[in-house]
Structure 1
Amino acid sequence: MPEAPARRRRAGELLDAIREATLEELHERGYQGVTFEGVARRAGTSKPVLYRRFSNRADMVVDAIVSTRFSVPPAPLDGPLREDLIRLMRGVMERMGRQGVTTFRGVIGEVDDATVTRVSTLVLSQFEAWLDGILVRARAAGELGPAAVPPRVTAAILALLRHEMLFVYGSGMEPDLEGIVDDVVLPLLRATTLPDQAPASPA
């Protein structure tokens, strides 16, 4: 009896299958063992389909990790500000896991400019969305000033987290997230959201 023809998958279904296959290959073979051929075989598709979506292996792996592990907030974020910041940073780190850290170290060594832009956009936009929710609640609670947080400050907070993740957590040491929040992040947020001080009147 002839086999029934394979059902044509919708774009979303196919992309989900590719992401799942990528993560399975990553888990079994490590980043250096991930190939377009292996992912295509596991996902039940072809290499040309993958190449139409992803320019290189790093692009494909980053898409799979960010899209599956960071689609929802990593922890309840309902205040107060200090605890929310610590929960967010710790949650992101735990979602990434040591395998994810090892993977991103491999990615860094082979990405081109286009992939760097894609990674930055994916990660920063998601982190910004979660952080913005925290800041809106904190401002309403009077924990911050009324001014908007400059985009460079958000990027700096993410850079601090990235450093702890790749160079501290990734080396087996315990990251000092409480210290980062208390000594750097909170003072920075408070300083940049306070309204401009009016100049002192001459005596």
Structure 2
Amino acid sequence: MHLEKTRRRGAELEDAILDAAWEVLIRQGYPGFTYEAIAARAGTSRPVLYRRWPQRDDLLLATLTKFLWSQPIELPDTGALRDDAIGSLRNADSARAHVLTLVSVQLMEYFRDSGSSLSELRDKIRDPSRPTSMETIVARAVERGEVPDRARPARVVSLPFDLLQHEMLMTMRPVPDEVITGIVDDIWLPLLTRP
């Protein structure tokens, strides 16, 4: 009996390519993130990659979108603003600390070549129609009457996550719990609730 090798198509092929691209990025960094290396790892050809992602940066953005932002961090709903914020930061730290540090190191060449930053890259791959975890947490607190319903600067709302990322990148380690609670209690809540 003759068995024919099944050709992957559509979503199955795309998943295989993006999985291979992630492996190449993590192991070889941006300099090794080539169509040749990814095609070889995925068991396909370069033209298949070019058809889907004409530019290497298109493939990079698709890869990062799949592995960084398509898997949302669990957002607690404890019924209290402080507890939701601390829980969200703890979940982000445990889910993203290692990967964020690794990816930012592996993408140094990309940042240098493109003249962009981690925050610009984040903005490219983040779905702007989806509220951030901190926006959701603040909206819930407003609905519960914990904080007044008024306009707040986006930078204030996103501050806990921004400070968490800064801590991750500066220490290259998981963020200690006392730092997470300090971000929320000593910095964010006083800013968020000031008259």
Q: Settle same-fold status: TM greater than 0.5.
A: yes
Deviates further, 92-101 or 78-87: 92-101
| Counterpart code for 2:170 | F
Distance 1:39 1:119, change over 3 A: same
Instruction: Provide the C-alpha distance between the structure 2 equivalents of 1:18 and 1:166, rounded to a whole number of angstroms.
Output: 28
Instruction: Provide the C-alpha distance between the structure 2 equivalents of 1:133 and 1:113, rounded to a whole number of angstroms.
Output: 32
Contact 2:35 2:46 in 1 (8 A): yes
Deviates further, 111-120 or 143-152: 111-120
Instruction: Provide the C-alpha distance between the structure 2 equivalents of 1:30 and 1:99, rounded to a whole number of angstroms.
Output: 15
Instruction: Provide the C-alpha distance between the structure 2 equivalents of 1:165 and 1:147, rounded to a whole number of angstroms.
Output: 31
Instruction: Provide the C-alpha distance between the structure 1 equivalents of 2:33 and 2:24, rounded to a whole number of angstroms.
Output: 6
* Structure 2 equivalent of residue 143 of structure 1: 146
- The aligned runs of 1:91-102 (5 Å cut-off) are 91-102=91-102
* Structure 2 equivalent of residue 68 of structure 1: 67
SS of aligned partner of 1:78: coil
Give how far 1:162 is off.
Answer: 1.8
Contact 2:34 2:56 in 1 (8 A): no
Give how far 1:89 is off.
Answer: 1.8
Radius of gyration: which is bigger? 1
| Counterpart code for 1:36 | Y
SS of aligned partner of 1:110: helix
Structure 1 moving runs of 4+ over 6 Å: none
Matched, 1:182 2:185: yes
Give how far 1:72 is off.
Answer: 4.3
* Structure 2 equivalent of residue 41 of structure 1: 40
Instruction: Provide the C-alpha distance between the structure 2 equivalents of 1:30 and 1:64, rounded to a whole number of angstroms.
Output: 14
Instruction: Provide the C-alpha distance between the structure 1 equivalents of 2:127 and 2:156, rounded to a whole number of angstroms.
Output: 12
Matched, 1:160 2:158: no
Instruction: Provide the C-alpha distance between the structure 1 equivalents of 2:158 and 2:54, rounded to a whole number of angstroms.
Output: 25
Give how far 1:179 is off.
Answer: 0.6
Distance 1:144 1:174, change over 3 A: same
Structure 2 residue ranges without an equivalent (≥5): none
Give how far 1:71 is off.
Answer: 2.7
Instruction: Provide the C-alpha distance between the structure 1 equivalents of 2:176 and 2:129, rounded to a whole number of angstroms.
Output: 24
Contact 1:90 1:177 in 2 (8 A): yes
Deviates further, 141-150 or 44-53: 44-53
Instruction: Provide the C-alpha distance between the structure 2 equivalents of 1:88 and 1:173, rounded to a whole number of angstroms.
Output: 13
Equivalenced residues, count: 188
Give how far 1:83 is off.
Answer: 1.6
Structure 1 residue ranges without an equivalent (≥5): 195-203
Distance 1:159 1:129, change over 3 A: closer
Over the aligned positions, Cα root-mean-square deviation in angstroms equals: 3.4
Give how far 1:47 is off.
Answer: 2.7
Contact 2:86 2:184 in 1 (8 A): yes
Contact 2:168 2:175 in 1 (8 A): no
> When the two structures are superposed, what TM-score results if normalisation uses the length of structure 2?
0.74
Give how far 1:127 is off.
Answer: 8.2
**Deviations 1:87-114 (CA, angstroms, capped at 9, x unpaired):** 2222222222424412212314422157
**Deviations 1:113-158 (CA, angstroms, capped at 9, x unpaired):** 5786443232484984322221221111222110133223244444
* Structure 2 equivalent of residue 31 of structure 1: 29
| Counterpart code for 2:176 | E
**Deviations 1:28-53 (CA, angstroms, capped at 9, x unpaired):** x2536544322212223333443552
Contact 1:30 1:103 in 2 (8 A): no
> When the two structures are superposed, what TM-score results if normalisation uses the length of structure 1?
0.71
